[in-house]
Amino acid sequence: MRRKKIKDLSNLELVAEYGDIAERGVACSPGPNRKEFKKAIQRRQLLRIELLTRLGEPKESIFKYAWEQEAWADDAKRSSQLHQHLSSWKNGSRQPLTLSVAIQEAIYLLGTFDVIGHRNHYLRHGEGAGSLQEVEKQKAAAREEMRLIRAFIRKYKRPRL
């Protein structure tokens, strides 16, 4: 039996299906069938967006904050720079932020610590700080940010079995 398209669902059917998916805990673990898991996650996201749209929520705010509901978002929030960077991420097609895009953005952000002229490069080398203590604090803060971003990339980039 084929599922109805999300746009064709009545309000009651939409709420019931979203509640059913949330109840089953689709986002818990991929299990043996990764393809089915990805389809279920995508369906859950689309149901959530449609539900919020029908409730009158503007699409801009739905797409902007939808990624924070994902399980991997808590790990991204550990690094203040990564969280800030992902929060300001905007796509011309207004698609939701996915884990693969978040990993690419984290890799880009990590690379900015080596780009001469970028504020992260200055932070990493303690440039622009007044005293020796401030220089050490900046360097320590930069090392901690880099460590947190690397940990995020390592955790989610490795293939899951």
Cα separation of 98 and 66, whole Å? 10
Cα separation of 119 and 5, whole Å? 47
More confident residue, 33 or 39: 39
DSSP designation for 159? P
Evaluate if residue 107 carries a pLDDT over 90.
yes
The winner for highest mean pLDDT among 8-22, 73-87, 132-146 is 132-146
Q: Going along the chain, which residue ranges are E strands?
A: none
Six-digit token string for 70: 């994902």
Question: What mean pLDDT do residues 60-88 have?
Answer: 77
